[in-house]
């Protein structure tokens, strides 16, 4: 009896430790909400679609290019020093900025439940899905205030598709408004 209990416990532990397949858009929503609330950038990135990751990488590449202008632009230098301080990394490390670093930075600068660019407050718990549409490997969940979130089904389950164009730092910290 003891061996059966130990074997069952080990089997459950192995299954529980494996990556959970997100079988529905609602499961993907719950995973991204949980990661956002816990400020877990790694878990948040893991739920994003491949397309979103590609778009974010392009956006971050633009930031890396801006970083290259620091020698000619004192305002850029000041802004990047401020950003690096907030991200707890050296300014030189910003040229190696990753998607996870960027998402973590966004999470630290957004208050849970406030207006955000990663997840609007209408999508944070206790978010209520008002409507769901699904066509093939794409789905959309609709929330209050005409907010919606798109999903793409992959072999690994449903993934959140964010429009990277709308995921913005706003203005770079330390940049004053007349320089925009």
Separation between Cα atoms, residue 87 and residue 100, nearest integer Å: 11
Separation between Cα atoms, residue 154 and residue 43, nearest integer Å: 17
For the stretch 22-61, pLDDT in tens is 999 999 999 999 999 999 999 999 999 999 999 999 988 8
Separation between Cα atoms, residue 127 and residue 121, nearest integer Å: 8
Instruction: State if pTM tops 0.85.
Output: no
Residue 109 lies in a domain: yes
For the stretch 50-104, pLDDT in tens is 999 999 999 888 878 877 777 677 887 788 788 788 777 887 787 788 899 888 8
pLDDT category of residue 115 using cuts at 50, 70 and 90? low
Tokens of 169: 């730092």
Number of structural domains (the chain) is 1
Range of the domain at 56: 22-171
Separation between Cα atoms, residue 142 and residue 148, nearest integer Å: 4
Separation between Cα atoms, residue 175 and residue 178, nearest integer Å: 8
Residue 10 lies in a domain: no
Residue 163 lies in a domain: yes
């Amino acid at each position: 009896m003891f061996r059966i209990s130990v074997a069952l416990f080990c089997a459950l532990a192995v299954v529980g430790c494996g990556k959970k397949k997100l079988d529905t858009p609602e499961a993907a929503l719950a995973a991204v909400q949980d990661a956002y609330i816990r400020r877990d950038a790694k878990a948040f990135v893991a739920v994003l679609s491949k397309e979103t990751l590609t778009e974010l990488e392009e956006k971050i590449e633009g930031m890396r290019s801006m970083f290259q202008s620091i020698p000619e632009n004192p305002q850029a230098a000041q802004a990047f020093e401020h950003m690096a301080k907030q991200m707890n990394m050296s300014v030189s490390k910003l040229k190696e900025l990753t998607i996870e670093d960027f998402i973590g930075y966004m999470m630290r600068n957004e208050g849970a439940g406030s207006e955000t660019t990663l997840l609007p407050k209408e999508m944070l718990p206790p978010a209520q899905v008002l409507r769901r549409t699904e066509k093939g490997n794409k789905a959309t969940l609709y929330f209050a205030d005409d907010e919606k979130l798109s999903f793409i089904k992959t072999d690994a389950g449903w993934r959140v598709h964010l429009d990277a164009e709308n995921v913005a730092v706003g203005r770079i910290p330390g940049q004053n408004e007349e320089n925009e």
